[in-house]
Chains A and B, each alone.
Chain A
Amino acid sequence: MKLYDAFRSALQSLIVNKLRSALTMLGVIIGVAAVIAMVAIGNGASQSVQTSVLALGSNLITITPGSQTQDALRGAGPPAQTLTLDDMTSLKEQLGPTIKAIEAEQQAGNWQIAANGTNWNSRVTGVTEDYPAVRDWSTQSGDFFSDSDLRVNAQVAVIGATTSQQLFGDGDAVGQTLQLRQVFGQRARIINFKVIGVLEPKGSTFGFSRDDQILVPATTAQHVLTGRTNVVSSIVIKANSSDDMDNVTADVQSVLLNRHRISNPENADFTVTNQNDTLAALQGITATFTLLLGAIGGISLLVGGIGIMNIMLVSVNERTREIGIRKAVGARRFDILTQFLIEAIALTGLGGILGILLGWGITQVVARIPQASNLLLVITVGTVAIAVGVSVAIGVVFGLYPAMRAARLHPIQALRYE
């Protein structure tokens, strides 16, 4: 039998049993749509995690105080404040051109801000002058503070785009003054800062807006805001390249161990985190997540496949006489086999295509959910190809047994079937 006739007869029989074909197909449609949507969501989550991490700056190595050993006693206490600005200066000198940039940060907590007659509340962080270089983050207006500002504990601030919008509206914030306030009972502490720059907007990372913050010189934070002099909460290094990061990590480790006079690296009082490792760990998690979602879709696809097999067995049974007639006029086993197999493949193939469309529709709906607004939903050509391939394969796998049963029927018994 020519393929043309097989396709024609398959389509004819699908059209004759419209409702049944549609319901059977629905199983495959839902299965394929589930796989497509789930994998797209998984991929989207993975991509947004990656962009979130890289939005903090790329090729970053972060040093934080406290041990990374899993010692229960040590882990129970508060992290020791063992990192200093001197550590940073020393690293900068010793690592020299092997790194691109280095900066230190001190968290100064949340402050009430007043300016221009408005009140706001923001996170304040003390940073050093190379913060823009490390974070790949420049100002949209004004300038960042310099090392001379750090030397004199200048009361200058660089503020995020959102903070600027909240305090100064559409007007230019540069040159304006803002007040950081802390209230202790009746008394209030008020410190004036001059705004010298506004950062470019960057969006949020893991739910935190990165555009609502105030950066001040680290020394100013230490002396004027927190009183914790010399101490920093993290040192961040930008390596020259991603390949370089392991070397730099090792160098940082040895420089700091030396400075802190610790001989056994296991007793280190600081932790060096490599962004590559973080990325890899996060990607591992999102890959598992994607796999899990895909598996859920896969199970619905399997159920759809079983539906196909079921309906094909019914169809073969119903059409036993037809099979007998076809055999009587000369159909060979292979002819009958292909006829039913193509019917199954037509069902699943068409279901697969409709499923892709439905899956795409689902991602469009999901993309409109506000919580998923920054989730990049990715349907790749690969996903589509796999979905079509899998649905055709399901047609073959689940259609084969019914088709073989049809092909094996004895012509006389088939003709006599009531």
Chain B
Amino acid sequence: MKQFRPAVVQLRGVTKTYRMGKDNVVNALQGVDLDIHEGEFVAIMGPSGSGKSTLMNVVGCLDVSDTGEYILAGENVGKLSDDQLAAIRNKHVGFVFQTFNLLPRLNAIENVELPLVYGGDRKGRRERAIGALEAVGLGDRVHHRPAELSGGQQQRVAIARALLNDPAMILADEPTGNLDSRSSAEILAIFQRLNDEGKTVIMVTHEPDVAEHCKRIVRMRDGIVARDELVPRQRNAEHELREMIAAAASHVLQMPAARAASGAE
């Protein structure tokens, strides 16, 4: 059924080589073929150095491949200028990074507004930013600066920023890499909700637990796609989050009882 949806991302024989000096050549991508369709939720896994981030950068038009073909939403991206790539990033791609990459001097609203600063109207910009922040559960933190937010909150600001221009896809490179399990669950729950609403999400991760929240797992090795499989049973982050909260609450409730018990001895 998926096959009948249009392919958002079409990669054919994509290669990327980094040269540092004469002899030091790294073939980060060595011929990647990959199709990702609208509405998919894909995890990209693989050992360190296998080319996951490089692939994400090419898919997100932050970088261009050396050879091969990349068609994004029907458009061949290989021949575009830097500024045209910037426009595509602005309109069609929302990035979420492992290190959040928020501007430290700007507050949450100003950070989220950023894509509209470089494309779109100033009118209604602020309202949209606040709306996006509310959608990720940060309606009460809109004036905070990144330094005044927890890691999980910062990552949610980054997601709100990625969502603002209503892009075709969300690209997340190890979005939970710097977060504890609770914050990770919150981020994954947001991604799953976005995916349920029809958004394409591509996420790099090292953790199998995290990958099992996606619908499909693409495994990379040495710059190529080694395995590509569907997730048999997609885990639900929302449920897990609720269980975590319940467990934490019962833990707190048990505390006085335990203390009372130890005091009685």
Contact = CB atoms under 8 A, between A and B. Distances in A.
Interface of A: 1-2, 4-5, 12-13, 16, 321-322, 324-335, 410-412, 415
Contact of B101 (A13, A333, A334, A415): A415
B173 to A, nearest CB: 10
Nearest to B106: A12
Contact of B57 (A16, A321, A412): A412
B233 to A, nearest CB: 34
B95 interface: yes
Contacts of B118: 1, 326, 329-332, 335
B63 A412 contact: yes
A1 B117 contact: yes
B77 to A, nearest CB: 14
A5 B63 contact: no
Contacts of B87: 330, 332
B62 to A, nearest CB: 5
Interface in B146-197: 161, 165
Interface of B: 57, 60, 62-63, 82-83, 86-87, 89-91, 95, 97, 101-103, 105, 114-115, 117-119, 122, 161, 165
- The winner among A322, A330, A333, A410 for most chain B CB atoms within 10 A is A330
19 contacts: A5-B122, A13-B105, A325-B114, A326-B103, A327-B86, A328-B60, A328-B62, A329-B90, A329-B114, A330-B86, A330-B91, A331-B86, A332-B87, A333-B83, A334-B83, A335-B118, A411-B63, A415-B62, A415-B97
A333 B114 CA distance: 15
Contacts of A333: 82-83, 86
Given A2-B117, A5-B117, A335-B118, A329 B95 contact: yes
Contacts, number: 65
Contact of A329 (B63, B89, B122): B89
State the main secondary structure of chain A at its contact with B.
helix
Contact of A330 (B63, B90, B103): B90
A13 B110 CA distance: 14
A332 B105 contact: no
A13 B104 CA distance: 11
Q: Which 5 pairs, one residue from A and one from B, show the smallest C-beta to C-beta distance?
A: A330-B90, A330-B118, A332-B83, A332-B86, A329-B115
B101 A328 contact: yes
A2 B60 CA distance: 24
B128 to A, nearest CB: 14
Contacts of A321: 101
A322 B122 CA distance: 21
B105 A412 contact: no
B13 to A, nearest CB: 21
Contact of B122 (A4, A16, A331): A4
Contacts of B97: 415
Contacts of B57: 412
Contacts of A325: 101-103, 114
A412 B95 CA distance: 12
A345 to B, nearest CB: 19
Given A330-B89, A332-B118, 19 more contacts: A1-B118, A2-B122, A5-B122, A325-B103, A325-B114, A326-B103, A326-B114, A328-B89, A329-B89, A329-B90, A329-B118, A330-B87, A330-B91, A331-B86, A332-B83, A334-B83, A335-B118, A412-B57, A415-B62
A326 B103 CA distance: 9
Contacts of A330: 86-87, 89-91, 115, 118-119, 165
A328 B83 CA distance: 12
A322 to B, nearest CB: 6
Contacts of B122: 2, 4-5
